[in-house]
Chains A and B, each alone.
Chain A
Amino acid sequence: MEKMSRVTTALGSSALTGRTMHCHLDAPANAISVCRDAAQVVVAGRSIFKIFAIEEEQFVEKLNLRVGRKPSLNLSCADVVWHQMDENLLATAATNGVVVTWNLGRPSRNKQDQLFTEHKRTVNKVCFHPTEAHVLLSGSQDGFMKCFDLRRKDSVSTFSGQSESVRDVQFSIRDYFTFASTFENGNVQLWDIRRPDRCERMFTAHNGPVFCCDWHPEDRGWLATGGRDKMVKVWDMTTHRAKEMHCVQTIASVARVKWRPECRHHLATCSMMVDHNIYVWDVRRPFVPAAMFEEHRDVTTGIAWRHPHDPSFLLSGSKDSTLCQHLFRDASQPVERANPEGLCYGLFGDLAFAAKESLVAAESGRKPYTGDRRHPIFFKRKLDPAEPFSGLASSALSVFEIEPGGGSMSWFVDTAERYALTGRPLAELCDHNAKVARELGRNQVAQTWTMLRIIYCSPGLVPSANLNHSVGKGSSCGLPLMNSFNLKDMASGLGSETRLDRSKGDTRSDTVLLDSSATLITNEDNEETEGSDVPTDYLLGDVEGEEDELYPLDPEHVHPEEPEYVLPQEAFPLRHEIVDTPSGPEHLQDKADSPHVSGSEADAASLAPVDSSFSLLSISHALYDSRLPPDFFSVLVCDMLHFYAEQGDVQMAVSVLIVLGERVRKDIDEQTQEHWYTSYIDLLQRFRLWNVSNQVVKLSTSQAVSCLNQASTTLHVNCSHCKRPMSSRGWVCDRCHRCASMCAVCHHVVKGLFVWCQGCSHGGHLQHIMKWLEGSSHCPAGCGHLCEYS
């Protein structure tokens, strides 16, 4: 007692002390409650009922109220509450429906005072009146709330919840006569203690049971409720209709909610399942908890603020049989771990970008490239500084917009629509796609297709006898290749690609990439310019039957070289016009890259261009060598795919992947493929190319991708008469009992595809309408409209 009074006085000078600590209980706790002196806490559970003194360094067991010979269900507590006026008075709710009161002032060992056995089912909650000494309220599973006067043996009044189980009852702190009760069906009721016949007000607060509620200690009308639907809602009860002020979405059902003292917008919650942490939320910032206590290893069942005027001490009991005191300053703050950066593309290529303000400020001061050169920052907005945590985690948002006209992606749409991905022999597919690419002016892509055709189809087409043919014959074999591109096309194609790439370079990172690569590029110009020479060099020196030795080296050398070779194209399109080499240089380079290239730049530069037929011959020779199966190239092709994907042209990567199918699939790891597929599908959908995207999904071999079009395949339709959704079947309306869609031609119900004219809204079976409109241009319904079918 001495100690208690000491602490109480200490509180008077507002200095509650202690540390984060816990103590082990013998059994799981179901509820806890704090004595008004803030120095004792009672823990109740199925097989525990103890009072602990809260000392500086530890909890000390003070009293075990579970006395008696054998365990009784009356002691199996679902809830416990300590009177806030009288430190000797406690009440418990037992799982068998008994309400027990305890008087700590009793001299005997057994402190049990009164026993109320009026409830037929488990009592979920008991609550003392905040100011009245003798009034106790209970809420039970049997759907009744009972008000007891402790001076009498029975309940004073009974409130009926219409056989809905009561989960929580709470006296209003401010209004003397009011209490709130929450129900299993999601309702919250407000009662006047004097009027047991009917509730003052009722509203549906949650979907599913409302497990808990708590009145705001200061704001008269504020009630917080928590439910199984994982929400905490704050209601303003002063208005005529209860108004939802705030809503916090947690990650698990909310078992308890308690307003934090002295912090108007803070409340603490714990969950009933799955999640073991205690969160303190600022209701104005409902997405990130203000603080989080992670001490418990099982679900937290009871929380209580230690003192009604001290916001820093929180006590909690848990199923893991521990009692904890948490200090607010020791709480972890999720907001610190939050990532305040974000990046998103708009539909038309706009880019929004949020980052910590400090970062943005520093960077823009350091480096001016944040859009000055190409993409202006359109606006930059600061978050409202009045918001909580503004110092902790706030981001500046920047929006970049693309240059008008610069971002045309029509090539992408055209390509996507016109590419053939399946259904024909590989050679035809490649040719077709090459043609498409060429027509769109994308020569590099066209060449790639052509080369793929050569790699994977040619050996079959060209008899092996050709291999040892003379120069003339060899060049005739190579001729189709040579014809497949010409320089002018290429130049314009390169120009367009450059533009495209610019539009893609909206992100800052891209810009960096370009910038950094620009330096590289200048170095590589020589090599690029003299590209045609290099193979010659190689061919001249090593052509004599040494392919075997040379080719194995290829992968290593090709890989570093390919990007080098393409990037210049984009950054410096004009270069190629200067170089007046015979057709085929690129082709050569792709196909027969010399292992000497990197080493012999200087040599290459001094060499003069050589006879084109010669180089062509050497290609065909290399290609048609019977010792080189298509498998041999797969490494090369994979590198090529990676290159395209990295460059941003995921379309090419996926198209090639689909067309080549098994030939290359095994060489690229599943995850990368999946990544490409999803990126491409995402792009296609942004451009509303639903059919193409669906085709891609269908053709993909990746499990994760092909299941994409198996989700949400339901199509909802509304009745054409009553305009309501037709729930059960798609062709007859439950409400107006009419068949919704009749075919105008055959006058039967259409159960599958229904096609209709947007002008007169008549329609019918797809087949019938198509047939009809072949012969007549008027509407089959006879309305006189001239229907169009396209």
Chain B
Amino acid sequence: MRLAAASNEAYTASVAVSELLGCKQCGAGRGQDEELGIRIPRPLGHGPSRFIPEKEILQVGSEDTQMHALFADSFAALGRLDNITLVMVFHPQYLESFLKTQHYLLQMDGPLPLHHRHYIGIMAAARHQCSYLVNLHVNDFLHVGGDPKWLNGLENAPQKLQNLGELNKVLAHRPWLITKEHIERLLKAEEHSWSLAELVHAVVLLTHYHSLASFTFGCGISPEIHCDGGHTFRPPSVSNYCICDITNGNHNVDEMQVNSAGNISVSDSFFEVEALMEKMRQLQECRDEEEASQEEMASRFEMEKRESMFVFSSDDDEATPARDVSRHFEDTSYGYKDFSRHGMHVPTFRVQDYCWEDHGYSLVNRLYPDVGQLIDEKFHIAYNLTYNTMAMHKDVDTSMLRRAIWNYIHCMFGIRYDDYDYGEINQLLDRSFKVYIKTVVCTPEKVTKRMYDSFWRQFKHSEKVHVNLLLIEARMQAELLYALRAITRYMT
């Protein structure tokens, strides 16, 4: 079944930019093409996201002027209107900042050559077996003149990029383990050494693509049409189907797990929103009277940290990643390990001692000018984005909820805010939501539609996408903080 949005997109991807400006006649144009005997790629999925019904998603052509400008920008920058953009356009303000940052990272002045940037993107996405991003960037990589041999695996890439593999691995799964020795190894590797500026560029790219992989899985982004239909730019070695379909094909298993993990009956879900709002009200009111002791606060953080490992839905045996993506990284067994599970004590990261606004920003901006500003803006927008709505309610102050989500993610990475009461998280985030957050952030490849559906049932899809934006930005910041702190330590 071919549906409007997807076919629009396919069409716009294959015609000149000018057509985008007046694409009202897309439908007609497509018919003509078929008569001419041109093979038209047919989308396999149903719209840009497998989780969100297509009718919920904005149709290309019905956007307002702001969104239209965004689409045009996106198309101009990337040469395509990808599904990520189509889903993110739920939040145009964020999308604008996102596209600007991504464009700057990939195409504007920077210390790394263009094909290196895409290759690093591939490396990062491959860590999460995100074939969607891998496929996109394989195309881009070849397009900017990258050596196709590199795509056969990291061991075929230059030594310099191979050295980055270790950092990529640690950063993706256990960023708290990054030490200045990691940085030193990269910077002092004879002729293969990185410069500080290059390293910061690479780190920003890695974190960007780790979190973007989270978004891709978290919102169930469908494979791009040209990735299915076999694109001419692609090397024959890249398979014609997407791993997203394979790895998530075994829905039955996952569904079982979710059911056992957090089964809420439909009638409950109706009161979910009311209950949540009530809790927020209560917290708001009783905050002043009830003062937890310091030890209590500390133990709440530890508890939340510890507990975050039990919310994990799936068991530990990792599904072996499909072959063609896994060849971009080695050591497939290295995955997210919970912060506090293995008895190894890692000191808690205090945000008051090293935070993005004061420290991270300055470092990034010093070594890779302007990017600090762009990322700062993006964090800011993501953190402060609100429409003051919750499901069917209007004029709600959601700052408490957003902060809880943000801090919960940082908590999973061992980052602690002195001025936050981690008891709030338990009040506000229910189990199925925590399962979803944890999965998206730590092992995005395991996200299923069931998980997506089972949290916040009454909430709109746009709000769930909003949650995803918070997740990816919080994750990116957490990874950046660890990496930048290591770089700072190396420098002092």
Binding site for B on A (CB under 8 A): 28, 46, 70-74, 76, 78, 94-97, 117, 119-122, 141, 184, 208-209, 211, 228, 252-253, 272-274, 276, 297-299, 711-712, 728-729, 732, 734, 749, 751
Q: Which residue of B lies closest to A230 (CB)?
A: B362
Question: Judging by beta carbons under 8 Å apart, are B358 and A228 in contact?
Answer: yes
Closest Cβ of chain A: how far from B469's Cβ, in Å? 20
Residues in chain A near residue B297, CB distance under 8 A? 73, 96
A-B contact pairs, 6 of them (CB 8 A): A46-B350, A95-B350, A122-B352, A122-B419, A252-B362, A728-B72
Given contacts A252-B366, A253-B362, contact A73 B298 (CB under 8 A): yes
Q: Which of B338-364 contact A (CB under 8 A)?
A: 350, 352-353, 357-359, 361-363
Given A273-B363, A298-B492 in contact, is the A96-B358 Cβ separation under 8 Å? no
Q: Report A-chain residues with C-beta under 8 Å of the C-beta of B63.
A: none
Contacts of A28 in B (CB 8 A): 353
Q: A76-B418, A120-B419, A252-B366 are in contact. List 10 more A-B contacts (CB 8 A).
A: A46-B350, A73-B418, A97-B418, A184-B357, A209-B358, A228-B358, A272-B359, A728-B69, A728-B72, A728-B76
Specify the chain B residue showing the minimal Cβ separation from A251.
B366
Complex Cα spacing A728 to B298, Å: 50
Asked if A729 and B76 make an inter-chain contact with CB atoms under 8 angstroms apart, the answer reads: yes
Interface status of B25 (Cβ within 8 A of chain A): no
Q: Are B21 and A274 in contact (CB-based, < 8 A)?
A: no
For residue A184, which residues in chain B have a CB less than 8 angstroms away from its CB? 357
A72/B419 contact (C-beta < 8 A), A272-B359, A273-B362, A274-B363 known: no
Establish whether residues A253 and B418, one from each chain, have CB atoms under 8 Å apart when the complex forms.
no
Residues of A with C-beta under 8 A to B76 = 728-729
The answer to the question of B488 belonging to the interface, with a C-beta cut-off of 8 Å to chain A, is: yes
What residues on B are CB-neighbors of A96 within 8 Å?
294, 297, 418-419
The answer to whether B352 and A78 have CB atoms under 8 Å apart is yes
Q: Is the interface of A mostly helix, strand, loop or mixed?
A: loop
B295 within 8 A of A: yes
Q: Could you say which of B21, B357, B366, B492 contacts A732, with CB atoms under 8 Å apart?
A: B21
Whether the pair A74, B418 counts as a contact (CB closer than 8 A) is no
B331 on the interface (CB 8 Å rule)?
Answer: no
**Ordered nearest first, which 6 A-B pairs have the shortest CB separation?**
A95-B418, A273-B362, A72-B294, A95-B352, A96-B418, A97-B419
Q: Are B352 and A74 in contact (CB under 8 A)?
A: no
| Contact B73–A728 (Cβ < 8 Å) | yes
| Cβ-closest chain A residue relative to B73 | A728
Q: Does B109 belong to the interface (CB within 8 Å)?
A: yes
B491 within 8 A of A: yes
B69 CB contact (under 8 Å) in A74, A208, A734? A734
Distance from A256 Cβ to chain B, minimum over Cβ atoms (Å): 12
Shortest beta-carbon distance from B55 to chain A in Å: 29
Partner-A contacts on B (CB < 8 A): 17-18, 21, 69, 72-73, 76, 109, 287, 291, 294-295, 297-298, 350, 352-353, 357-359, 361-363, 366, 373, 376, 418-419, 488, 491-492
B298 and A712 within 8 A (CB): no
Q: Are B294 and A74 in contact (CB under 8 A)?
A: yes
A73 → chain B, closest Cβ, in Å? 5
- Contact in complex: B361, A228 (CB < 8 Å): yes
Chain A residue with the shortest CB-CB distance to B359: A273
**Among candidates B291, B298, B358, residue contacting A211 with C-beta atoms closer than 8 Å:** B358
Closest Cβ of chain A to B416, distance in Å, is 10
- A416 vs B492: C-alpha distance in the bound complex, in angstroms? 50
Q: Kindly report which residue of chain A lies nearest to residue B360, judged by CB atoms.
A: A273
Chain A nearest CB from B359 CB (Å) reads 5
- Chain B residue nearest to A118 (CB atoms) is B288
Residues of B within 8 A of A734 (CB): 69
Report whether A253 and B358 are in contact in the complex, using a CB–CB cutoff of 8 Å: yes
- Tell me, in angstroms, the Cα distance from A28 to B354 when the chains sit together: 13
> What separation, in Å, do the CA atoms of A120 and B361 have in the docked complex?
24
For B491, what are the chain A residues with a Cβ–Cβ distance below 8 Å? 274
Residue of A nearest to B373 (CB): A208
Contact call B353/A274, Cβ cutoff below 8 A:
no
Say what secondary structure dominates the interface of chain B.
Answer: helix
Output the nearest chain B residue to A74 by Cβ-Cβ distance.
B294
A423 to B418, CA, bound (A): 69
Measured CB to CB, the nearest residue on chain B to A121 is: B419
Select from chain B the residue with minimum beta-carbon distance to A142.
Answer: B419
Cα distance A274–B358 when bound, in Å?
12
Instruction: Provide the bound-state CA to CA distance between A72 and B363, in Å.
Output: 31
Bound CA–CA A121/B417 (angstroms) = 9
Inside 8 A of B18's CB, which chain A residues have their CB?
749, 751
Separation in Å of the A225 CB from the closest CB of chain B? 16
Q: How far is the CA of A120 from the CA of B287 in the complex (A)?
A: 9
Question: Do A46 and B362 form a contact, CB below 8 Å, given A96-B419, A141-B419?
Answer: no
Per a CB cutoff under 8 Å, which of B287, B291, B419 touches A95?
Answer: B419
A211 to B, closest residue via Cβ: B358
* Complexed CA–CA distance, A146 and B376 (Å): 28
Alpha-carbon distance between A219 and B69 when the two chains are bound, in angstroms: 51
Task: Say whether B21 contacts A297, CB under 8 Å.
Answer: no
The residues of B that contact A297 with a CB separation of less than 8 Å are: 492
Q: Of all chain B residues, which has the CB nearest A274? A: B366
CB distance from A162 to the nearest CB of B (A): 12
Is the pair A729, B72 in contact by a Cβ cutoff of 8 Å? Answer: yes
Is B492 in contact with A276, judged by CB distance below 8 angstroms? yes
A711: contacting residue among B17, B69, B109, B488, CB under 8 A: B109
Question: Considering the chains assembled together, what is the distance between the CA atoms of A683 and B326 in angstroms?
Answer: 52
**A119 proximity list for chain B (CB < 8 A):** 419
A742 CB to nearest B CB, Å: 13
Q: Which residues of B contact A46 (CB under 8 A)?
A: 350, 352-353
In the assembly, what is the distance between CA of A732 and CA of B76, in Å? 13
Q: Do the beta carbons of A73 and B294 come within 8 Å of each other? A: yes
Instruction: Give the CA-CA distance A110 to B205 in the complex, in Å.
Output: 50
Q: From known contacts A122-B418, A274-B362, A729-B72, infer whether A209 and B357 are also in contact, taking CB-CB under 8 Å.
A: yes
Q: What's the Cα separation between A228 and B357 when bound, in Å?
A: 9
Q: CA–CA, A71 to B295, complex, Å? A: 9
The interface residues of chain B lying within 8 Å CB-to-CB of A209 are 357-358
- A728 and B17 CA atoms in complex are apart in Å by 13
How many angstroms between the C-alpha atoms of A729 and B352 in the bound complex? 43
CB distance from B385 to the nearest CB of A (A): 14
| Docked pose: A509 CA to B21 CA in angstroms | 63
Q: Residue on B with the closest CB to A276?
A: B492
Check if B73 sits within 8 Å of A70, measured CB to CB.
Answer: no
Neighbouring A residues of B72 by C-beta, 8 Å: 728-729
In the docked arrangement, what's the CA distance between A299 and B485, Å?
13
B362: A residues at CB distance < 8 A: 228, 252-253, 272-274
How far, in whole Å, are A122 and B352 apart by their CA atoms in the complex?
Answer: 8
Interface pair A712/B109, CB less than 8 Å apart: yes
A732 proximity list for chain B (CB < 8 A):
21
Q: How far is the CB of A274 from chain B (nearest CB, A)?
A: 6
Chain B, Cβ-Cβ closest to A28: B353
B165 to chain A, nearest CB (A): 25
Chain A residues closer than 8 Å to B287, beta-carbon distance: 120
Cβ contacts under 8 Å, B359 to chain A: 272-273
Q: Which residues of A contact B69 (CB under 8 A)?
A: 728, 734
Bound state CA distance, A209 and B357, in angstroms? 8
B341 → chain A, closest Cβ, in Å? 25
In the complex, what distance in Å separates the CA atom of A72 from the CA atom of B291? 14
Bound-state CA distance A673–B207 (Å) is 39
Q: What residues of chain B lie closer than 8 Å to A272, measured between beta carbons? A: 358-359, 362
Residue of A nearest to B376 (CB): A208
Q: Measured between alpha carbons, how far is A184 from B376 in the docked complex, in Å?
A: 12
Closest-CB distance, A715 to chain B (whole angstroms): 14
Which residues on A sit within 8 Å (CB–CB) of B294? 70-74, 96
How far in angstroms is the closest Cβ of chain B from A159?
19
Which of the residues B291, B358, B361, B366 comes within 8 Å of A117, measured between beta carbons? B291
Choose one: B109, B376, B418, B488; the contact of A273 (CB below 8 Å).
Answer: B488
| A577 vs B362: C-alpha distance when bound (angstroms) | 69
Distance from B483 Cβ to chain A, minimum over Cβ atoms (Å): 15
A301 CB to nearest B CB, Å: 10
What is the CA–CA distance of A728 and B99 in the complex, to the nearest angstrom? Answer: 13
Q: Please, how many angstroms separate the alpha-carbon atoms of A228 and B360 in the complex?
A: 11
Q: Identify the closest chain A residue to B294 (Cβ).
A: A72
